[in-house]
Amino acid sequence: MSENDQRQNWNRQIIEEFRANDGVVGGPFEGVPLVLLHTHGAKSGVEHVNPLARLDLDGRVYVFGSNGGRDMNPGWYYNVKADPQVTVELDTRSFAAHASVLEGADRDRVYAEMATRQPAFADYAARVPRVIPVIALDEA
């Protein structure tokens, strides 16, 4: 089984657990707030659903293109850049949202808060030379 197939299978299991338990997932994500982000492929137009760690801060929901600490942005990030109209599953509700990439001091402030709450994100930032994207998901 390829790494991509393994990742898709892993994501599928998380998505199923998320939906079966009103947005709560155990295992390595126990206690980590998640969302399911629906995007459309930048090239294919096919819908993709990705489970992502989230930060609720200042009345907004943020997600992070950490890609598990890999040295490349995740595919969903490019989908959001191509089409910022997304759907978000958060806890028990689903809503349309506009995704916007944060820049500069705003990005740094939100990422620092996530790294404080979820130390794995500090590790991701230390491991990769790229700037990990921060995306705000504002209900449409």
Render pLDDT for 36-71 as a digit per residue (tens, 0 to 9).
Answer: 999 999 999 999 999 999 999 999 999 999 999 999
d(CA 80, CA 57) in angstroms, rounded, equals: 20
**Contact of 140 with 95, CB cutoff 8 Å:** yes
Please report, for the domain that includes residue 69, its CATH number.
Answer: 2.30.110.10
Of residues 3 and 37, more confidently modeled: 37
Label residue 7 by pLDDT band (50, 70, 90). Answer: confident
Longest CA pairwise span in the chain (Å): 42
Q: What is the pLDDT of residue 53?
A: 97
Label residue 3 by pLDDT band (50, 70, 90). Answer: confident
Q: What is the pLDDT of residue 98?
A: 98
Q: Could you tell me if residue 45 is left (phi over 0), alpha (psi between -120 and 50 degrees) or otherwise beta?
A: left
d(CA 2, CA 122) in angstroms, rounded, equals: 28
Over 80: is that where the pLDDT of 4 sits? no
DSSP string of 94-124, one letter each residue: EEEEEEEE--HHHHHHHHHHHHHHSTHHHHH
What is the number of structural domains in the chain? 1
Bridge partners for 97 per DSSP: 86, 139
Summary count for the chain: helices (H), strands (E):
4, 6
Full residue range of the structural domain in which residue 73 is found: 3-139
89-132, pLDDT tens digit by residue?
Answer: 999 999 999 999 999 999 999 999 999 999 999 999 999 999 99
Give the burial string for 20-43 (b: 16+ CB within 10 Å, else e).
eeebebeeeeeeebbbbbbbbeee
